[in-house]
Chains A and B, each alone.
Chain A
Amino acid sequence: MTERIVGARLQYEDSATLERFLATGGDDGLRKAVLEMRPEEVAAEVMTANLLGRGGAGFEAGRKWSMLRKAPRRYLVINGDESEPATFKDHLLVERDPHQLVEGATIAAYAIEASFVVIYLRGEFALGLERVQQAINEAYARNALGRSIFGSSFSVDIVLQPGAGAYICGEETSLIESLEGKRGFPRIKPPYFPAVIGLYGEPTIVNNVETVSNLPWIINRGGEAFKELGQGRSTGTRLFALSGQVQRPGPYEVEMTKITFRDLIYGKEYGQGLHPDRSLLAFIPGGVSAPWFFPEHLDIPLGQDEVAKAGSMLGSGSVIVMDDSSCPVRSAWRIARFFARESCGQCTPCREGGAWIDKILRRIEEGEGREADLDLLLDLCDNISPGIKWPPAQTTICVLGPSIPPSVNAAIQHFRDDFLIHIKEGRCPHA
């Protein structure tokens, strides 16, 4: 039985209520932080824990905080714009444990001495928005927010901001633009981090929902205890979102590096395997931006470095399973189509390249493909991300464009025959 951190309350039906929250250690972390610790001590615990960001890039949260430019005003933004296909862990956390999110956000605000906090949630999370607003209201009512929190000398406000439907707004600079009332256009780098210039030009930290949801536990139990879970750089637990063609898709919190993809997909307490008489075609280990894995990768542990070494990433912690009834051409097309639709349009390689890749893959999928299409697809991928390597090179302002080639390339390299049957015979071998 793995230690549950962010998902500890999910075993209860009423996990979202204030009663359950307070009966299960709610507020303890925040009280300890603001009443017994200095902000830099809180930050030091998080540094010790080596908490990697849970939003996709996997950057150490403590290190991100330490980059904050010294300025009188600084902002904290919680990124809950979860839109990477097959990622649904934040959705669960905002709906099922909103108080933990608010507590974690307040702890983070204290650690960086933020002047103002915004929780930016995906607009489509109607129920999550209502629950988080309710949790914010209840936090004010018991002085866990607002002036002199729990009688300490720390005051801060949290405002809830609904997004309005744009995947790109999960990119932190784009999220900030959106929060300033503009289109979600990623900002030109450098500066690479909003910690230098962020919201309204002031230093800003953007942390993911799951990242800050870990903070109450870390403050209560200590960074060392967190670091004892997992191994190497992958400390603590992660909430993995398992989806696709498994018997039991769902969210599973596991200790980092302690189980393998085989355990997650086939294990009795996890995915329970594929449908009978189906075999594994491929799986994607970290959301649709990640290169695909195949049956030979099943024994890789769920750890940041282990997956990186094998040429992919854990990303947002979503594992998508495809069995042999699914068509890899169609899957690659659907992923490419997503990026083509969600491109913000600022950069030509992504805007045009993505749209072309979508059209060509659709053509192949519909049996209208041409012999030259495979080379053309790879050439387009190479234009968006030179060398089609991993981690991807960039010709664009953000990584949305370079997220297109990994799937397309994986499918072509691994399932070339499927593509050729589509092209030459105008039919799908999986239909």
Chain B
Amino acid sequence: MSRFTGEMLSRAEELVSLYPDPRSATIPLCHLAQEQDGYVTNEAMAHIAELVGSSAAEVQGTASFYDMLKLEPVGQYVIGVCTNIACMLRGAYELLEDAEAVLDTPVGATTPDGLFTLEEVECIAHCDRAPAAQVNYRYFGPLDRPSFETLVAKLRNGELDDEVPPHGTLLRVRREAPGVIPMEEIDRYRAQEAEREKQSD
């Protein structure tokens, strides 16, 4: 299930069709691969390369650069505790220790049941709710040990399923537009506009 098939394939092809240059779809396709498999598999990278007209090595070169793209399996919920300065000043490192204790797992590891991966992350732009954390990039804060425990409990029993989809699902809102206007049409059109401008001056 690592190559795109069925609905995922049609979504992948649609992403490729949006850009003047198909390679621009590389990162969106990596996100799509994570939505399908939870992480970016080697097979998915090879398929992405075919779809955008580059090589698997180039796709891996790109994917390995970005923090959100995981090249190995992660938990169903990736919890990122921000420890950057604004959160640090309000107790982020204490929260990170609490998180390790509550999840009974060290930073960077996944719980044995495969549910949670704990990460220490850089500023997530939620500084007015410091100390903050993200679960699959949905934001929570300010947090302390009790509220973190509650958050984990709710994730476990499915209370937050609507708010927090499994890791990899980023955009649940699909693009619903007529197809992108072909660049050539825009080119012609802008040329005509320029011509009209010239004549009216």
Contact = CB atoms under 8 A, between A and B. Distances in A.
Interface of A: 72-73, 82-88, 90-91, 113, 115-116, 118, 122-127, 129-131, 133-134, 136-137, 140-141, 145-147, 153, 155-157, 159-167, 178-184, 200, 241-245, 249-251, 288, 318, 320-322, 326, 330-331, 334-335, 338, 341-342, 344
B170 A88 contact: no
Range for the number of chain B residues in contact with chain A? 35 or more
B117 interface: no
Contacts, number: 203
Interface of B: 18-21, 23-28, 30-31, 52, 54, 58, 61-62, 65-69, 83-86, 88-90, 122-128, 130, 134, 136-139, 170-178, 180-181, 183, 186-187, 189-191, 193
5 closest cross-chain pairs (CB), A and B: A181-B26, A165-B67, A164-B66, A243-B127, A165-B68
A282 to B, nearest CB: 11
A137 B173 contact: yes
A331 B124 CA distance: 17
A341 B119 CA distance: 14
Q: Of residues B24, B25, B123, B124, which shows the largest number of chain A Cβ atoms within 10 Å of its Cβ?
A: B123
Contacts of B170: 123, 126, 129, 162
A86 B173 contact: no
Contact of B27 (A126, A155, A164, A330): A164
A320 B86 contact: yes
Contacts of B125: 82-83, 87-88, 90-91, 122, 124-125
A341 B130 contact: no
Interface SS majority for chain A: mixed
30 contacts: A72-B191, A85-B84, A86-B85, A87-B123, A116-B183, A122-B125, A123-B170, A125-B125, A129-B171, A133-B173, A134-B173, A136-B177, A137-B175, A140-B177, A146-B177, A147-B178, A155-B189, A159-B175, A163-B66, A164-B27, A165-B67, A181-B25, A182-B26, A200-B21, A243-B86, A243-B130, A244-B86, A245-B90, A320-B86, A338-B122
Given A116-B183, A245-B90, 14 more contacts: A73-B183, A88-B126, A126-B138, A126-B171, A133-B171, A137-B173, A137-B176, A159-B175, A162-B27, A182-B26, A182-B61, A241-B128, A244-B89, A251-B128
